[in-house]
Amino acid sequence: MVENRGFVGRYRVRSGSDVDLKAWDPDDTSGCDGNEARAQARFSELTRDLGELQDRLYASHEHKLLIVLQAMDAGGKDGTIRKVFQDADPQGLRVVSFKVPNAEEREYDYLWRMHKQVPRRGEMVIFNRSHYEDVVAARVRRMVSPRVWSRRFAQINNFEGMLHEEGVIVIKFFLHISKHEQKLRLQARLDDPDKRWKFNPDDLKDRKRWPAYMRAYGDAIGKTASGSAPWYIVPADHKWYRNLVVAAIIVDTLQGLNMRYPQPTYDASKIRID
């Protein structure tokens, strides 16, 4: 299996640190010296490793893995899921996409719909957007007051801390793209008739709020990064590098569990299949 520890450490956010996203380069490819061909070869190894590790996770039925993906519009959440988990078994993988809360969900606290979707033992769950919308988008769009969104940081820390104590491994990724790269990707959607369905004119309203979103994401990441639920800020202007970084971090996390396949309760040498 590929070793990843030295590679992934550079993108992990230190607990209790102030995060200024201007200091994090979305165009960075330094983890592989900008060599895309070498990165693609390594990525292929990592996806195979991830498939094998996920198989052990499912078979051992002991650990639970929750992966949180956050990004600006066109940041690459869907593409990351398709590419990084291409060798994963759907039997043990579940993707949950959180949209605007429906009528039932609005009757409960904002974490209720998240808690319902956390992984079972042996399962890997990906949150495509998450409870962090309630301290980022809700803040920027002024859907809640500063008094409300500011107290949610402690609530989220307590929620994720409880998940950790109950055996859920939490990894959080912010796919960090530049405003220029977002423009290119949104324009590409408009230019391709087969991709126009992905374009929402309302996304342009959030684009005008870019500085406010960067401040809100920086605050959210800095105030909720912890040893039990770490944040990683992934340079995402280059899709191939984004995928490499995310895959390496997940593989590194799973390797650290030292998972083994369960031993059978029978003597296989005494069984004959006619």
Q: What is the pLDDT of residues 126-139, one digit of tens each?
A: 999 999 999 999 99
Measure the CA–CA gap between 219 and 21, rounded to whole angstroms: 10
What dihedral angle (degrees, nearest 10) is formed by the CA atoms of 96, 98, 101, 104?
Answer: 0
Judged by DSSP in three states, 126 sits in strand
Bridge partners, residue 153, by sequence:
none
Measure the CA–CA gap between 84 and 42, rounded to whole angstroms: 12
Among the listed residues 101, 136, 135, 129, the one whose alpha carbon sits nearest the alpha carbon of residue 209: 136
Q: What is the pLDDT of residues 163-177, one digit of tens each?
A: 999 999 999 999 999
- Read off the pTM: 0.95
**Residues with pLDDT less than 70, the chain:** 1-7
CB 245 within 8 A of CB 42: no
Percent of the chain with pLDDT over 90: 85
Predicted confidence at residue 5, as pLDDT, reads 63
Q: What is the pLDDT of residues 63-98, one digit of tens each?
A: 999 999 999 999 999 999 999 999 999 999 999 999
Which CATH homologous superfamily contains domain 5-258? Answer: P-loop containing nucleotide triphosphate hydrolases (3.40.50.300)
Burial of residue 166, with CB atoms counted within 10 A of its CB: 0-12 exposed, 13-18 middle, 19 or more buried: exposed
What dihedral angle (degrees, nearest 10) is formed by the CA atoms of 32, 21, 111, 242?
Answer: -20
What are the domain boundaries of the chain? Answer: 5-258
